[in-house]
């Protein structure tokens, strides 16, 4: 499955698609990018005098790139055609730096395990200066409709 096919298979659309590019992917890891649009809905009021990206959105970006993209890659083509969904089951994320409107981030994820349709990954997000924005573990179950 190609990187573009993986992005196309994601169960998200604008304004909740947070994957611009998958830079690399294999059976153990994935790396991708996302640039936060200045006009994104979640900046209105968060915060009114200086918008920053909410932590829940940073977690979602990490989950979409680091868990869902890798999960789709790990499935064989027949299962992807069944339109699988990956339901987030747990996360533990530590936050270090804010992300502002217009910033580009890189997400790197390494598989911890994939068994019994559960995928668990160690995920980190870096800014353009290669500084750690946040990191942690995210897990999800792959469920076919």
Catalytic residues: 46
Q: Which letter does DSSP use for residue 65 in this model?
A: I
d(CA 37, CA 108): 20
Alpha carbon separation from 94 to 3, 88, 135, 144 (Å, rounded)? 28, 17, 6, 31
Query: φ and ψ at 139, to 5 degrees?
Result: -130, 150
């Amino acid at each position: 499955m190609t990187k573009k096919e993986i992005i196309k298979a994601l169960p998200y659309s604008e304004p909740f698609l947070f994957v611009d590019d998958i830079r690399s992917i294999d059976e153990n890891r994935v790396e991708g990018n996302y640039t936060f649009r200045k006009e994104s809905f979640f900046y209105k009021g968060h915060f009114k005098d200086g918008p920053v990206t909410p932590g829940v959105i940073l977690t979602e970006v990490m989950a979409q790139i680091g868990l869902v993209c890798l999960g789709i890659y790990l499935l064989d083509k027949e299962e992807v055609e069944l339109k699988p969904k990956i339901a987030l089951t747990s996360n533990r994320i530590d936050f270090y730096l804010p992300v502002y409107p217009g910033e580009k981030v890189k997400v790197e994820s390494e598989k911890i395990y994939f068994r019994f349709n559960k995928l668990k990954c160690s995920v980190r997000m870096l800014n353009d200066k290669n500084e750690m924005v946040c990191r942690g573990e995210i897990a999800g179950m792959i469920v076919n409709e």
